[in-house]
Structure 1
């Protein structure tokens, strides 16, 4: 099959779940093209991007990142003449779109300008990641600029913040089309169906990991405890509660090294908290790392912590891939009763869960983990869960089967 992926940034270090799908499809003999707005500003890239020569198969539609209002305005005016006045106003024309849609979607204008001379018509499957990209793909199909059966994977923010910004009916056209919706958890499946999605075209498809890349490496608890987190430094990741919990534990006498991998808008606040508590020797902000570097740090860690929360603007997680990676390595994972995370972690069986924003519960749970005499059974259950349910090889075979069933 010829498969077109539509994403925002590519390649993107924090989106290995998309990369794993693409490389799996290529390994299965399918041809993949990626349509992306731009590349990530971070210069570090996953080794598979080079190994599979993926940049040779990417079409960027905003290579210069020129997203100022002035540039968008000029592009819009140019596109009006490019579309042709009569085409825009004639409702029966195949590329008719309302003024409202065009004005609210500068990305659609950029895509039109990029694809009008070379439309992507030799495509069997169009796979958009995140709802807004699904909308773009749907409109490109309506305009005759791409062709193929559309599948849209929903992750989380696309059913929360995006709807808050654009309105409850933003996905109505997508729901009424033949698009197959692929929420990444049962939690988000219920959300989509509550918004009006057709249950017959809504299929849960988990994100997964390449288990072979994550060697089973449990380590026994010791007096020198190593905790790690990896995430964007944003509210929904709940890392502020991780810092607070670790601070309390250190004051209780525990010798902890807490490695925080990532970056983002809250970095300055985190550094200030760490400095004010005098914890620079215990809590380290390491910046972004490649997957290979993350694995090396994780090997020596006892606990992987991600205390996710619903942010004040309503944003939520999907099922964080880092938890799957840690579980595959036999690490003790600690997270929260949040979004689809309880579909991955069963408290006390293959990991531990606490209530959102409950620092005291987090402190008590971590203290209990530090005193575990036998954590091997939990480590083994953690890896088994990922092997059986979140193994990218199995999931990619299921995805290909879904593509084939829905395109015939």
Structure 2
């Protein structure tokens, strides 16, 4: 019987999580059989091309338990007959005392449904994000008696209480995470730090091939504006309000145009800020777009800016894949030294880093690179070399494949090592 990995996701497919889709496709092409379990239905109208290449079936759990009571009841009655049900119930009740929320109840109900509907050949449970998807995976694993693991990222690490992170880390077989700072933090909370592994997402360089970018002559003078690009959700941690304020303070003599790609809850508020600052003719917010559109826009741009910050609730970026994507296409980057960004962008070497929320410093950094195309090109070339030597997704995927194999989940040998561009 073919062994299947049940992959628990917060939502699928999602435009903002192309790194997850990239990993899923690579696992399939390495020979693993996957079954995707999503806590939410998709909300994005578009899809990345990679989503159509992933063959794994998707099971959507009830987003709200009252909307699908029959499935929840079947999950409960089925789970009551399993030896692990009361172990899972104890875990849930212990968590509920410390987190008495409807969200916590929902996760347990979703775990009941997941346990009932798991394919019989399921050999492992693997969750993306150590907060809510990991809770569902943990309760379900206790019910059905399967080992499990997790991939932790950014918001899920920094907005989860330490008690919950610690207990999950000590319960799972292993955890991977994508930045050194996240790796050190999770290791400090685990009884066995060796269970926590640093595995960068990297970039599928076949989807982001080298682009022979002509030397830029745009320097902020004349009629051809320097094209500034930002890709990322309009949420607090991205620092887009700081960026818009800095754009408004650029010298009037500089000719530039800013494009933002991404959805997000703050989009309308940021659009109002643009209008109030009189930037409507120089700034555009396009909303979420598929990957091929992002790639083409990168190639048409001169400078990539992402002024990430730590949000009020502790949320922050890990190592944003959009920075890696931008550098793979020969774009100089301006960002901040938050979380894992410093593992990619070295200030003054392959980009510029400014303190979070420092409008003046961000303005000056952008002005410097807008007016100096030669410096932009030098930094861009160094950035692309770093991405292509240290952040190749195929080499980072080897570590994840090895973890599954060492856990006893074996890929189908006749599909092993299929190249990503097959």
TM-score by length of 2: 0.85
- CA contact under 8 A between 1:75 and 1:109: conserved in structure 2? no
Name the structure 1 match of 2:314: 314
- CA-to-partner distance for each residue in 1:325-359, whole Å, 9 max, x for gaps? 00100101111010111011111212211111111
Residues 357 and 374 (structure 1 numbering): CA distance in 2 closer, same or farther, change over 3 Å? closer
Unaligned runs of 5+ in 1: none
Secondary structure of the 1:212 match is: coil
Residues 300 and 41 (structure 1 numbering): CA distance in 2 closer, same or farther, change over 3 Å? same
Secondary structure of the 1:246 match is: helix
Name the structure 2 match of 1:186: 180
- CA contact under 8 A between 2:79 and 2:85: conserved in structure 1? no
1:16 aligns with 2:15: no
Name the structure 1 match of 2:138: 138
Aligned equivalents of 1:31, 1:82: Cα separation in 2: 25
Name the structure 2 match of 1:154: 152
Structure with the bigger RCO (C-alpha within 8 Å, sep 6+) is 2
**Aligned counterparts, 1:366-385, within 5 A:** 366-372=366-372, 373-385=374-386
Secondary structure of the 1:356 match is: coil
Name the structure 1 match of 2:418: none
Name the structure 2 match of 1:393: 394
Deviation of 1:277 (Å): 1.7
- CA contact under 8 A between 2:305 and 2:335: conserved in structure 1? yes
- CA contact under 8 A between 2:74 and 2:113: conserved in structure 1? no
Residues 180 and 240 (structure 1 numbering): CA distance in 2 closer, same or farther, change over 3 Å? same
**Aligned counterparts, 1:43-58, within 5 A:** 43-54=45-56, 57-58=57-58
- CA contact under 8 A between 1:135 and 1:171: conserved in structure 2? no
- CA-to-partner distance for each residue in 1:124-144, whole Å, 9 max, x for gaps? 443211102223212211111
Secondary structure of the 1:263 match is: coil
Unaligned runs of 5+ in 2: 97-101, 410-422
**Aligned counterparts, 1:212-251, within 5 A:** 212-217=206-211, 218=213, 219-222=215-218, 223=220, 224-249=225-250, 251=251
Aligned equivalents of 2:171, 2:113: Cα separation in 1: 25
Name the structure 1 match of 2:126: 127
- CA-to-partner distance for each residue in 1:168-219, whole Å, 9 max, x for gaps? 3113432222421112111001111233452111110111221122233335
Aligned equivalents of 2:64, 2:86: Cα separation in 1: 30
Residues 124 and 391 (structure 1 numbering): CA distance in 2 closer, same or farther, change over 3 Å? farther
Taking only aligned residues, the RMSD between alpha carbons, in angstroms, comes to 2.6
Deviation of 1:243 (Å): 0.7
Aligned equivalents of 1:243, 1:13: Cα separation in 2: 23
Residues 92 and 268 (structure 1 numbering): CA distance in 2 closer, same or farther, change over 3 Å? closer
Aligned equivalents of 2:155, 2:248: Cα separation in 1: 30
- CA-to-partner distance for each residue in 1:348-374, whole Å, 9 max, x for gaps? 212211111111111111121123334
Deviation of 1:110 (Å): 2.4
- CA contact under 8 A between 1:153 and 1:181: conserved in structure 2? yes
Secondary structure of the 2:335 match is: strand
Deviation of 1:121 (Å): 4.5
Name the structure 1 match of 2:295: 295
- CA contact under 8 A between 1:221 and 1:302: conserved in structure 2? no
Judge which range, 263-272 or 367-376, deviates more. 367-376
Name the structure 2 match of 1:204: 198
